[in-house]
Amino acid sequence: MHQQQEIRQNNRKNQGSNTILQSSSPDELKEVRINLITRMNESIDIPFIDEKQEQVYCTIIVDFHLKKYGLAKGTNQPHEELMDVEYEIEGTQIQLEAQRAVNTEKEADFVNKLENLEKRKKELFSVLSLKA
């Protein structure tokens, strides 16, 4: 019970922060994003990983949270946005190929079903014509 109250209080606090961030301009959000990435990278030291790789991980984490709260639009640098768009294009192409494969398979199933029904129809006509 106590834990649920704590969660509600944290959610209320976060809602205030989200409202401030949601009313911020994309330029302000870019600055917040860069500051978050920089501060996180400075405060966290991952053993056996160089600073550039650490920054990549910090960027991924910050971007994840910005997207989660609907604040990511307009915060990426152009080269980062280009990478995101290329990634989305690749994903969309894969989805399209999968959809085409599924549709082709379903179409083949319908054609096969239609052929079987036509065959059965002919069989029934021949049975009926023999009885008449």
At residue 78, the pLDDT reads 81
Q: How far apart are CA 32 and CA 104, in angstroms?
A: 48
pLDDT on residue 9: 60
Nearest to 63 by CA among 28, 32, 107, 25: 32
Which residues of the chain are modeled with pLDDT < 70?
1-22, 74, 132
Q: For residue 84, which of 68, 64, 69, 70 has the smallest C-alpha distance?
A: 64
pLDDT score, position 77: 76
pLDDT for the residue 111: 93
Please state the domain extents for the chain. 1-76, 77-132
pLDDT score, position 128: 87
